[in-house]
Amino acid sequence: MTPDDAFFALHRDLPREGPGQAEDVHWALYAAAVPEEARIADLACGPGADTRTLAKARPRARIEAVDRMAHFAAAARAATAPFGPRVTVRVGDMAQVSGPYDLIWCAGGLYFLGVTEGLRLWRGALASGGLVAFSEPCLPPRPSAAARAFWAGYPAVTGIGGIRERVAAAGYRVLGERMVIGAAFRDYYEPLARRIALLRPGAEPALAAVLDAAEAEIARWQAAPDDIAYALMVVAPE
Ligand SMILES: C[S@@+](CC[C@H](N)C(=O)[O-])C[C@H]1O[C@@H](n2cnc3c(N)ncnc32)[C@H](O)[C@@H]1O
């Protein structure tokens, strides 16, 4: 089994690939005053949980979902098939989107590009009046050692002030922000923990290594669930 096979044995068909809940999507649609017939992108869509929520919440919108991993794009395509051709899903690079979009939604994906770099890239894909909603790892004002340990693999992590600075450096202003915390992480980690338990008996070394890493991540979250968060930001180009 290759490391990629092991990764997808663990992640295949999970409902989502990062923390988040439908109410986060609803909040952003409201904060961004997204019109009924909007053109919306779900970039780094993963298996499409938020794509579905966007499609349900805006029944007349056209939605384009993009993920670079074919497995996730296939899952998102299956999850959104009931919405018909107004929702499309493709394998692609979120750094290369042309729009125009009234809303770019990106849950737990912008850090792959960098907040400032990604927002700069997306400016040209926004329609007039278009907005971006994204979630980004966020340290609390006085981070515990457990919170720092959780984000050790992401040295660019900052508090909310640092995220605002990165938004401003891209030439955007913040219209709204809220924390993604607690239940939003639980909704990601509980299905993952169940899958680990299912795959653990007799797991070969490559798979066991992937299961160990995921289990350790869950344990790091359980050590400080009130301290580990994403900031969800709605931002507009200046
Ligand atoms: C943490 S997951 C979040 C997925 C989804 N938004 C969710 O909340 O379930 C990050 C996703 O970003 C995708 N990704 C990373 N870099 C990308 C890129 N350059 N273009 C498109 N997708 C990318 C990964 O394949 C993965 O599905």
Ordered DSSP codes for 120-179: HHHHTTEEEEEEEEEEEEEE-SS--HHHHHHTTT-TT-EEHHHHHHHHHHTTEEEEEEEE
67 lines ligand 1 (CB under 6 A): yes
Q: How far is the CA of 14 from the centre of ligand 1 (A)?
A: 14
Any idea what DSSP says for residue 112? G
Strands 126-139 vs 39-43: parallel, antiparallel or unpaired: unpaired
Residue ranges of E strands in 161-211: 172-181
| Closest C-alpha among 223, 228, 61, 69 to residue 159 | 228
Instruction: Decide: 66 in ligand 1 pocket, CB within 6 A.
Output: yes
Residue with tokens 């401003």: 168
Determine the distance separating the centroid of ligand 1 and the alpha carbon of 119, expressed in angstroms. 16
Ligand 1: centre distance to CA 135 (Å):
12
Q: Classify burial at 161, counting beta carbons within 10 Å of its beta carbon; exposed 0-12, middle 13-18, buried 19 or more.
A: exposed
Locate the ligand 1 atom nearest the alpha carbon of residue 15 and give its number. 9
Task: State the sign of the Cα–Cα–Cα–Cα dihedral 107, 112, 116, 120.
Answer: negative
Beta carbon of 45 within 6 Å of any ligand 1 atom: yes
The residue whose C-alpha atom lies closest to atom 16 belonging to ligand 1 is: 112
Is the dihedral angle over the CA atoms 186, 103, 43, 82 positive or is it negative? positive
211 lines ligand 1 (CB under 6 A): no
Query: 142 exposed, middle or buried (CB, 10 Å; 0-12, 13-18, 19+)?
Result: exposed
Mutate to test the pocket of ligand 1, among 24, 42, 68, 115 (most ligand atoms within 8 A of CB): 68
- Written as six digits, the tokens of 76 are 């998102």
40 Cα: distance to centroid of ligand 1 (angstroms): 16
Domain ranges of the chain: 19-146+153-182+228-237
End-to-end C-alpha distance for the chain, whole angstroms: 49
Taking Cα atoms as reference points, which of 130, 40, 129 lies closest to residue 89? 40
Q: Facing residues of 173 across strands?
A: 236
Tell me if 94 CB under 6 Å of ligand 1.
yes
At 1 the pLDDT is: 86
pLDDT tens digits along 120-130: 999 999 999 99
CA of 106 from ligand 1 middle (Å) equals: 8
Any idea what DSSP says for residue 179?
E
Alpha-helical runs (H) found in 12-69: 22-31, 49-57
Contact assessment for residue 136 and residue 109, using Cβ atoms and an 8 Å cutoff? no
Give me the pLDDT at residue 190, please: 97
Distance 66 CA to ligand 1 centre (A): 8
112 lines ligand 1 (CB under 6 A): yes
CATH placement of domain 19-146+153-182+228-237: 3.40.50.150
- The residue whose CA has the least distance to atom 11 of ligand 1 is 44
- Residue numbers of the chain with a pLDDT score lower than 50: none
